[in-house]
Amino acid sequence: MSFFHLRRAGKNRYINIILERGMRLHTESLPHQRLRGPGLSGGRRSCRKAENPPAFFAPLPLCVTRYVSVFKAAVKNELQKGKAAWKTMGPAKVDVPSPKDFLQKRSKPPKLPLSDKKTSKNDIRKPPVPLRSDHPIMGIQSGKNFINTNAADVIMGVAKKPKPIYVDRRTGDKHGLELSGLVPKYINKKDYGIIPEYICKRNEEVKKVQEEYDNYVQTKLKKAAMKRLSDEERDAVLQGLKKNWEEVHKEFQSLSVFIDSLPKKIRKQRLEAEMKQLEHDISVIEKHEVIYIANK
């Protein structure tokens, strides 16, 4: 059912209720109404019953049957389809505790099992002081000659080499010789002065790329370079121009002596322009023996 149908049904019902209530109030209050007429003396009040009520207050026929949409059930099902109990939060899925198992102190935190390992603070202490009754072992003597042993170790031992130093001042300012750079260190290596392999590889790659670029540039220059016209081609072009000039000149000689129309005048001007251009080209080629042709 649409909103318009619901509003219309509610409006009709509201009007019917108002009409019923008005008619009931009118029929109850009208017979007992006290009327004051002009013929009554002294302004006395009289009570009369209305035998015929006005037609305005006649009861209207009530609308017993009202419109009910055939889609009411479908709309109701559609509205209830997306609704469900506890859909947002969901029902509680925890066990309800019994009254006997009430909350006690320290009942929630888990109780850790007791450790079987025994520790004591006395383990890290030093050994105790000997007692008065304890006596050390006395009378032990060794036959080792420590003097001879030490002398033999000194004689057979390798002498300690002094650290190489250099003095740069007369007052005896000493520094280490190894890190000073005065002693040749790197020139004695086998690979001293040899270019590393990665640098050689890099140089080859750079050289290869440079060669490719140079070839590309040379190709572009050759395509854009001017071409020199050979002697045979120069003679052929020159003979062709002279032949064209002779043909145009022959056509020019065949014109009439008297030019009396506009087409004749235009034709004469065109032939003169062609002959002039051919003469200019012939003079340029004859003047220059070496001719270059630019590529477009």
Q: Are the CB atoms for 248 and 278 separated by under 8 Å?
A: yes
Instruction: For residues 203 and 263, state if they share a domain.
Output: no
Strands 291-293 and 227-229: antiparallel
- 10 assigned to some structural domain: yes
pLDDT of residue 183: 87
- 126 assigned to some structural domain: no
Look at residues 155, 1, 164, 168 and name the one whose alpha carbon lies nearest to residue 71. Answer: 1
Angle at 132 between CA 127 and CA 135, to 5 degrees: 85
Average pLDDT over residues 124-151: 87
Q: Which residue type does 212 have? A: E
- 69 assigned to some structural domain: yes
Instruction: For residues 13 and 64, state if they share a domain.
Output: yes
CA dist 177 to 90, 159, 186, Å?
84, 20, 15
Look at residues 247, 250, 214, 234 and name the one whose alpha carbon lies nearest to residue 285. Answer: 234
Spell out where 133-216 has E strands: 165-167, 174-176
- 109 assigned to some structural domain: no
pTM of the model: 0.29
Instruction: For residues 171 and 200, state if they share a domain.
Output: no
- 213 assigned to some structural domain: yes
pLDDT of residue 247: 93
Instruction: For residues 203 and 250, state if they share a domain.
Output: no
How far is 182 from 193, CA to CA, in rounded Å? 19
- 152 assigned to some structural domain: no
Computed on alpha carbons and rounded to an integer, the radius of gyration of the chain in Å comes to 67
294: confidence class by pLDDT, cuts 50, 70, 90:
confident
Instruction: For residues 74 and 12, state if they share a domain.
Output: yes
Residue range 196-239, pLDDT digits in tens: 999 999 999 999 999 999 999 998 888 877 888 888 888 999 99
Instruction: For residues 77 and 16, state if they share a domain.
Output: yes
Instruction: For residues 205 and 258, state if they share a domain.
Output: no
- 148 assigned to some structural domain: no
pLDDT of residue 5: 45
Average pLDDT over residues 37-63: 50
- 236 assigned to some structural domain: yes
How many domains does one find in the chain?
4
Instruction: For residues 13 and 72, state if they share a domain.
Output: yes
Provide the residue range defining the domain that includes 261: 227-293
